C-alpha cells in the first residue's frame, strides 16, 4: 500500500458496497484504515466509512424516487451518515422516522459543503460555506433529539 489516503466520490452507495464486497475491495480498505490511512469522500464516498448510511441509491433506477434506504456500510466509524441535508429537506424527516426504530443509534446529518472529521474517536466539523454544517440525530427512548455541532476553528 504505497499511498496515504483513500478518497471515494459520490454515486450509488448500495451498488458500490456490493461490488466492493464481491471484489474484496472492502478488505483492502479495512487493511489501509487499520494502518492509519486517511479515509475520505463525499456523499456515497462519505457514507461508506460509517456503520450505516442513509442513501438515495434507489434514485439510480427511478429518478423520481425520493425515499431513502438504510444501508449497512463498512463500519470503520461508529454511527450512521446521511448527506445532502441542506438541499434535500425531506432527508431530515425520513432520518427522524428511521431513528425512532433504532434505539441508541446516532446519525450525522451533513449539509453539502460541510465535513465530519473523525480522528481517534473525536468528531469535529468543518465547512467551506456559511450557513451549513452537521447535526447529530439521536434516539433517546423513542424521541429523536437533534443537536447542531459547532464548527471547528482552523
Task: Give pLDDT tens digits for 89-121.
Answer: 888 888 888 888 776 789 999 999 999 999 988
Range of lowest pLDDT (16-25, 30-39, 55-64, 88-97): 55-64
Q: Is residue 140 part of a domain?
A: yes
The pTM assigned to this predicted structure is 0.89
Q: Which helix (H) or strand (E) holds 122?
A: strand 122-127
- State the catalytic residues: 43, 84
Instruction: Give the pLDDT band of residue 70 (cuts 50, 70, 90).
Output: confident
Residue 61 domain flag: yes
- Is 68 a domain residue? yes
Q: How many domains, in total, are found in the chain? A: 1
**CATH at 19:** 3.40.50.880
3-state secondary structure of 146: strand
Strand 69-72, strand 50-55: pairing: antiparallel
Instruction: Identify the residue with better confidence: 2 or 129.
Output: 129
Query: Is 154 part of a structural domain of the chain?
Result: no
Cα separation, 133 vs 62, in Å, equals: 29
Amino acid at each position: 500500500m504505497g499511498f496515504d489516503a483513500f478518497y471515494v466520490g459520490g454515486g450509488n452507495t448500495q451498488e458500490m458496497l456490493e461490488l466492493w464486497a464481491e471484489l474484496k475491495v472492502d478488505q483492502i480498505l479495512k487493511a489501509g484504515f487499520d494502518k492509519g490511512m486517511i479515509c475520505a469522500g463525499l456523499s456515497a464516498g462519505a457514507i461508506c466509512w460509517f456503520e450505516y448510511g442513509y442513501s438515495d441509491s434507489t434514485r439510480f433506477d427511478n429518478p423520481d424516487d425520493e425515499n431513502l434506504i438504510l444501508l449497512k456500510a463498512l463500519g470503520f466509524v461508529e454511527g450512521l451518515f446521511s448527506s445532502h441535508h441542506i438541499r434535500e429537506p425531506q432527508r431530515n424527516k425520513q432520518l427522524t422516522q428511521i431513528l425512532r426504530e433504532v434505539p441508541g443509534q446516532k446519525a450525522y446529518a451533513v449539509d453539502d459543503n460541510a465535513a465530519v472529521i473523525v480522528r481517534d474517536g473525536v468528531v469535529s466539523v468543518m465547512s467551506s460555506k456559511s450557513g451549513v454544517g452537521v447535526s447529530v440525530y439521536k434516539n433517546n427512548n423513542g424521541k429523536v433529539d437533534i443537536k447542531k455541532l459547532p464548527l471547528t476553528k482552523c
